[in-house]
Amino acid sequence: MVAKKVLISSIFLILIVGVVIGLVAVFVHNNAKKSGQESLSEQMKLVIQMCNYTDHHTECQQSLSPVAQNSSAGVKDYMKAALLSISDQAQNSLNMTESLLVEAKDGTRIKRSIEECNDLMKEARDELQALVSYVNDVELETMNDRALELRIWIGSVNSYAGTCMDVIGDDDRKVSEAMKGPIYDTTAITDNALAIMGFLTSLACLASS
C-alpha cells in the first residue's frame, strides 16, 4: 500500500515537473519572439511595411535592407535603392542580350531581334540612371507634385522589357528561354519599385502636410 502511494506520488510529481518545464519553455519562446520583434530597428520595420505592399517580398527586402542599416536613411534613400535595383536588373538583361549577340549569326532575323532588344534595355538602363540622378537632386516636395509622372517613368521599363520579349518571339527557343529569366526579374523588381514609390510619396506627403 505504501509502495503504491509512493508510486502515485512519484507519477504526480513527474507530471507537475513536466507542466512546469512546459510553461517555462513557452514563456522563454514568447519572450524570445517578443525580444526579436523589439530588436528590429525602426528603419527595418519601415522596410517590412513597405515590402508588404509589393508582390515580391524577398526581392524587396534584399534591395532595401542595406539602406535600413543606416539609421539616418530618409525617403529619398529608399527611393534611390528601389530605382537602383531595377537598374541592376535591366543591366542583367542587357548583359544577356550582348552575350546572345556574340553567338547569333550575322544577317539572321534573330540577331536583328536581339539587337533591337539590346537597344531597348540600354534605353531602360539610361532612363533609370537619369531618374536616380533626378531623385538625388530634387526636393521631396517637387517629387510629391510629380508622383504620377515618376511612376509612369518607372513603369516604362516594363514596356521596354515586354517589347523586348515580343520582338524576340518564340522562333528561337534557346534565345527566348535565355531572355525570360532576366526579363521576368526586371519586371518583378519594377513592379516592386512602383509599389514602394507609391508608398513613399504618400508618406512624404503626410510628413509635409
Domain map (residue ranges) of the chain = 1-39, 42-208
Helix axes 109-137, 147-168, angle to 10 degrees: 170
| pLDDT tens-digit map of 145-173 | 788 888 898 999 999 999 999 999 988 99
pLDDT band at 91 (very low <50, low <70, confident <90, very high): very high
pLDDT at 2 over 80: no
pTM reported for the whole predicted model: 0.75
pLDDT for res 23: 34
DSSP assignment string, 150-186 = HHHHHHHHHHHHHHHHHHHTTSSHHHHHHHHHHHHHH
| 101 alpha-carbon distance from chain centroid | 29
- Going by CATH, does the domain composed of 42-208 fall within 1.20.140.40? yes
pLDDT for res 25: 37
| Cα–Cα distance, 165 to 179 (Å, whole number) | 8
pLDDT for res 208: 54
pLDDT for res 16: 42
pLDDT for res 205: 60
pLDDT at 35 over 70: no
pLDDT at 37 over 50: no
SS3 state of residue 139: coil
SS3 state of residue 138: coil
pLDDT for res 6: 37
